[in-house]
Structure 1
Amino acid sequence: MQNLMRTQPLTLAENAMDALTIDGLKCYYVNDYFGVRREIRAVDDISLTIRKNEIYGIAGESSSGKTSLIKTLAGAIRPPMRVVGGTVKFNFADGPIDVYGEPGKMKAARWRHLSYIMQGSMNVLNPVRRVKHAFTDFASRHMNLDPAATAHRFKGAKSRAEKEALADIALQRVGLSMAEIKGRFSHELSGGQLQRIAVARALIPEPKLIVADEPVSMVDASLRMSIVNLFRDLRDALNVSIVYITHDLATAYYISDRVVIMRKGVVVESGDARDVLEHPKHVYSIALKNAVLPPNPREASAILRLRQRNAETNEATSGSGDRLAR
């Protein structure tokens, strides 16, 4: 890790304030098919707080509502998804913002105080443009700025050299440099480098909250820990809060200060990451933990063989019952 300069530590008053408060949030996918209304409750009555300078883990199986939740808190939802109840409030340096009560303020704050690292962000880069343009195209598209505008303008950069220097600072924070990527296309970089570029791009406006949606799901096991450690370093060096979305309980345990477990749009368990993941109480949390294989290959193989035998036994029993019923 390079050039992770420690910023001024938070005061007690700043630490005491939550970075984000969600109260009774309900967000549904609502469709009308031939006059028949159908609802999918992606986020159903969720309340939680995210403190300043912490990593907050949100874990659960696929389709448990994790991505829907963070899209909602980032104000990035689109029809047929809609908020039907509850509030989402940020506490930024220039005052609190109610995401759905003050949409104009939220639009101005997004990409200034809040950055969003999307799921599969390695595929966001344009394959026919050099990677350096990712630091200009992204801001122009998502901030409704003119094509010449970039996120670097938050820092007052005007010349190309100034912009590249600021991009280089962000890249060095994630262990890269502008010299390494300047003339290259996305297919010329490794998966780990592309994921680090996505993180560096999110750091340009120096946000106070970073939302990372399964940032290690698209990279192999050898790169996961380097990216997870990167988030911990960013939290400590930049005093930033990070919402870390994952279905990998091992990385959630390693990186998170606190964690919630989601199932079918509902939080079933929450608390200190060590307490929740070492001693889960809800039956779903226990099932998730039991699904994680041990690191010892022999023990893991034995568990897999046992599961296979149980599945075959259940299938045979179910088949016998069907024949008797007939």
Structure 2
Amino acid sequence: MMKQIITILAVLLLSACGKQQKWNNLEEVSLSDLPCDTIWTIEDYRNFPSLQILNDSLLFVKNTMQQYSYQILNYQDKSAWSYCDTGDTDTIPLPRYPGLKATIDFYHYGSCSFKTLDIANGSITRTFTSLFHLKENTPSLGAMKLKENVYVGMAYNGSGLFKIYEHKDDYYWIYDYGRMPVKGGGVGEAFRAKYAGTMDGDGKYFVYGSYDFSYIALYKWSGKELQFQWERTLGKNNYEIKPNRISLKGGHTRGFEEVKLTKKHIYALNNVNSSVHSPLKNTITVLDRKGYIVARYKTHEPMYSLAVDQDEKYLFAVLLRKEGERSCIVRYNLAK
């Protein structure tokens, strides 16, 4: 684990609304003090690509501006190979990386469906595109694959935060599960907009981070059902529940742009939209798999789309620039 992780000295408190933890004595590490490489420049400042690590030299980059556009980026020699999925063929040659093997599952926002890309034997093969669409029940933000034929997405309606889709006998079972990020809020569509969030998982566990509330929760997929593990509120809540909506007030700590799950930790990114006095503002908070904070990194530029290797040696991120400036993909060395 990286040297910068600081052992927590604060007293840990428990409450009915989740584990609470003091920020006192938690040393903050500035990312600007860590070795950093700029590995790719993004021409369009509006493009915030998502990142997935393939191996010790390659990143899979999904282009959000062009939904069918992907890149494989070599962050050692800073070269890239572009791939455009037109749907005309299921297999595209990949001669540059003949020994690469990887499976990439991702939610395709343009069509509101899931895709699987298999990389092997010098080619990319689109092996599966889900036969159903989540658009009627799931916002375009917040959906992921749990296992083969089992998906979870943010729910527009129903009694739970999520809808789980399980494919059986040529049709899908759909059921609700999951705790809301606030207590006492409604479950209608007007409230759901405030419940939207970001998710990441490893096939057995998945973590949800709220966009509008500094709330994180961990769930386990047992093979048959979702099982709640824990929930955390890391900042200050200041909101009012009205008959048809939730109104956020001054001093409220907003939530997370992205969460990432590794073997041992959860990385939660919070940008500049937090309360001015929030300890979360412009930070990446690191929690262990039991929900306790173990480190906090200070960011100095708005970020989007994290990726962390399983050994937690490197953290990749997209640094956002202002209009007219070029954003970029960077790599921080956490092991130094």
TM-score by length of 2: 0.31
Q: Which has the higher contact order (CA 8 A, sep 6+)?
A: 1
More helix by share: 1
Which has more strand, going by share of residues?
2
Larger radius of gyration: 1
